[in-house]
Structures are given as structure tokens and as C-alpha cells.
Amino acid sequence: MNPASRLSLLKPSPIRAITDGTPPGAIPLGLGEPTWDLPEVGRKALLRASGPCPYVPHAGLTELRRAVGAFHGAHLDEVLITTGSQGALFALFQAWVNPGTKVLVPDPGFVAYPALAFMAGAEPVPYRLSAERFRLDADELIRVLEATPETSAVVLNLPSNPTGGGGDLDALRRVAEACTARGVLLISDEVYRDLHFGVRAPSLRDVTDRGVVTSSVSKGWGAPGLRVGWAVGDPAWLAPARVVHGYAVTGTATPAQWAALALLEHSDAVLAEARAAVQLRWEALASALREELGQVVTPPDGTFYHFMALPPAAHADPLAFALKLRDEAKVVLIPGLAFGEGGRGHARLSFAATPEQLREGVRRLAPYWKA
């Protein structure tokens, strides 16, 4: 039996290669999900559910679309509710990326982007982030875009998984203009935007309403298991994506949309609490790195990822090094190489873990950095 040929380049997520087979007692600093409780307003909305549990329109629950629109400064018609932001990305790629075309993706970048390109029959083309702090480098992205005339879509992710690097308004504006001039779909994945340290990263919507922003309740609102996300942008880009998403899953679970609505209605408090939880964890990580390794680190622009430089000896085979950490030190980290060649010298450490786990994790890792 052979799966469909268009899947021939699709490989299982390299993150799973590390996290599957995690030994008992290992400290999980690999996966990127909040470890704090679902905010009370979301939990109550789930418990309150009574009466029928109907399908909702393919574009999503109207009240939720309105709330998402208000959050992003968009009209109801510019909002499509999806099954996580991953559902939005999938639907947009299927709707707009032709087989044989190319999709520009950040390197290092979220592992799903190249996979989504392959599933659409397209080829992912990496563009590097800035050498310093892994932020959006507009010159580099535009250079790659100009060298790649077959580009159908460009993906941005500010702040970035796995690096936590953001980008400035001018860089965003220049990239948006370059994409608009070529009629290329620009997708700005902003799932981590509200988990910022200091200044919040700019949104694509600050510079144009012609691209598409994707986001979800999974990170800032602390509810990845609800599987509620959205795409916000020009209704012309959203219309075929809505058809794809409708045929793929009909719609995201109705009670999950009720809970997401409650979370969105309390965004100010929910997001402030999430930032406080992330700040607390960052401080635990930063002080453990200082005490155990003498490292003085600065927080990322946003996210709950620390992109940690690997010891030089690990650069040749970062996967083997990560497996050794997993099996010997019993700490799970993701080698940066899993996110692209640009991540080879680093590992992603998720500080969404508890402060105790972070302190103990760094204590266990320290001998491998000192060796």
C-alpha cells in the first residue's frame, strides 16, 4: 500500500521523534503549550452549555466572529473561525497554493509550514531570520521573494516559534508591499503576539488589510485543547478557505466556540494573567541559567520559547545531542535543526513548563553545557 504520491515529501514531525519515547520522570521542556489552568471564564462557559448542541455556520459562531473582529480591528465579514489556527493555515494553503508553486517560510520556523506546502503539492522555500536575535529581516525575505517568481504565498510568524524573535513595523510594511505588488498571499501567523515581553510585536493589520492574519485561543488565552482559531483578512482571500474548511471539518466544535467567546470577551484580564504566568516562568528560567551556567539571558520579544545556543560540540549532530539529553539527563528539548537549517546551533526550550520544572531542568542540563 502506498499513500498518495503528493505526500511523498511529508515526514512525521521531527518534534514527535524527540517527544515520543520520553522516559518516565523526564522534564518536558519540548512541547509548546500553556501549563496553567484554562481561565475560569472559559471553564464556566463549557459547564453552562445546555439545550441543543447545533452545528454553527461554516464561517463560525456569529458572536465569536464579531468578538474576534473587534479584537483585531476587523469587520465580521473579515473573520473565519477555524479548528485551531492550524485549521486556518491548512484551509488557506489548500485554497490558494497551486501545485508546483513555492511558499516562502521562515528558517528556523514552525514545522507545520513546510508540511502544509507539501500537502498542497508546493515546495517550501526557506528565508532566514536575522542573525542577531532571529527577527524578521525584510531585506532577506524580499531578496528570496524576488529570486522566486513562482511564489504563491509567504508566511510570517511574529513573534516566532521557535526563536521568540519579532519584527518591526517598517519591516512588516515593506514585506506587505512586496507581496501585494506581486499578488502573493501574505499570511501572518500571530498566535504568540499577546505573550510579549515589553512591546507587543506589530500586527500585519497595522500595515495592511490585504493579507491574512491567523491566530487562536491556544497560546495567549491558554486553551489549546479547545481547538478554536481564526483567519482575519480580506474576505476575497477567506471565501475559498471557508469552503475548504467546511468540507474538511464542517466547523469547529460548537461548545468550544462558546468557551472561546467567553475568553475573548475577557481578553484584557485573561491575556494579562497569561503574561504574568509567562513572566514568572521566564524569571525562574533566567535565574536558573545564571546560577547553573553563568549565562545572562534576555527575554524573547514574545512566546514562551528560549532559543538556547548549543555547545559547539553538539552542532554536528544536534538530534543525537537532544536524544542524549532526553535519555540521560531526562530533559526534553527540541533541537533547532528540527525547525530548519538556520536553527542548527540552537535548541528550543519551552518555558511554558512550571518554575519548578524549569529550575530542575536547567540543573540537569548544566553538566552537558559545561562538558
Ligand X SMILES: Cc1ncc(COP(=O)(O)O)c(C=O)c1O
Is residue 195 at the binding interface for ligand X, with CB under 6 A as the rule? no
CA 270 to chain centre: 19
Radius of gyration of the chain (CA): 20
> What values do phi and psi take at 105, rounded to 5?
-130, 145
Q: Please identify which residue in 32, 108, 202, 211 interacts with ligand X, judged by CB under 6 A.
A: 32
Measure the CA–CA gap between 156 and 185, rounded to whole angstroms. Answer: 11
Residues 238-267 binding ligand X (CB under 6 A) are none
Give the residue at shortest CB distance from ligand X.
84
- DSSP structure string for 130-188: PTTTT---HHHHHHHHHT-TTEEEEEEESS-TTT-----HHHHHHHHHHHHHHT-EEEE
Q: Which CB sits closer to ligand X, 203 or 216?
A: 216
CA 265 to chain centre: 23
Contact criterion met (CB below 8 Å) for 297 and 303: no
Which residue stretch of 38-46, 81-89, 118-126, 281-289 sits at the interface with ligand X (rule: CB under 6 A)? 81-89
How far apart are CB 13 and ligand X at their closest, in Å? 11
Q: Which CB sits closer to ligand X, 229 or 300?
A: 229
Q: Which CB sits closer to ligand X, 30 or 84?
A: 84
CA angle 263, 352, 119 (to 5 degrees): 80
Q: Please identify which residue in 224, 251, 299, 335 interacts with ligand X, judged by CB under 6 A.
A: 224
Q: Please identify which residue in 94, 151, 203, 216 interacts with ligand X, judged by CB under 6 A.
A: 216
Q: Which CB sits closer to ligand X, 110 or 134?
A: 110
Instruction: Tell me, residue by residue from 95 to 134, as one string, x for binding to ligand X by CB under 6 A and - for no binding.
Output: ---------------x------------------------
Q: List the grid coordinates of 171.
A: 519591516
Q: Please identify which residue in 38, 85, 93, 300 interacts with ligand X, judged by CB under 6 A.
A: 85
Contact criterion met (CB below 8 Å) for 204 and 176: yes
How far apart are CB 334 and ligand X at their closest, in Å? 11
How far apart are CB 83 and ligand X at their closest, in Å? 7
Which helix H or strand E contains 82, and what residues bound it?
strand 79-83
Residues 343-362 binding ligand X (CB under 6 A) are none
Measure the CA–CA gap between 90 and 98, rounded to whole angstroms. Answer: 13
CA 210 to chain centre: 21
Q: Which CB sits closer to ligand X, 142 or 260?
A: 260
Please give the C-alpha separations between residue 173 and each of 102, 137, 150, 158, 179, in angstroms, as whole numbers. Answer: 22, 12, 22, 13, 10
How far apart are CB 218 and ligand X at their closest, in Å? 3
How far apart are CB 32 and ligand X at their closest, in Å? 5
Q: Please identify which residue in 101, 152, 157, 163 interacts with ligand X, judged by CB under 6 A.
A: 157
Which residue stretch of 48-56, 84-92, 164-172, 280-288 sits at the interface with ligand X (rule: CB under 6 A)? 84-92
- What amino acid occupies position 84? G
Q: Please identify which residue in 161, 188, 203, 208 interacts with ligand X, judged by CB under 6 A.
A: 161
Which residue stretch of 63-71, 80-88, 204-212, 333-341 sits at the interface with ligand X (rule: CB under 6 A)? 80-88
Q: Please identify which residue in 106, 229, 318, 342 interacts with ligand X, judged by CB under 6 A.
A: 229
Quick one: which of 199, 171, 201, 197 has its CA closest to 186?
A: 171
Please give the C-alpha separations between residue 235 and each of 29, 136, 176, 212, 364, in angstroms, as whole numbers. Answer: 39, 26, 17, 9, 50
Write out the residues near ligand X by the rule CB under 6 A.
32, 84-86, 110, 157, 161, 189, 191, 216, 218, 224, 229
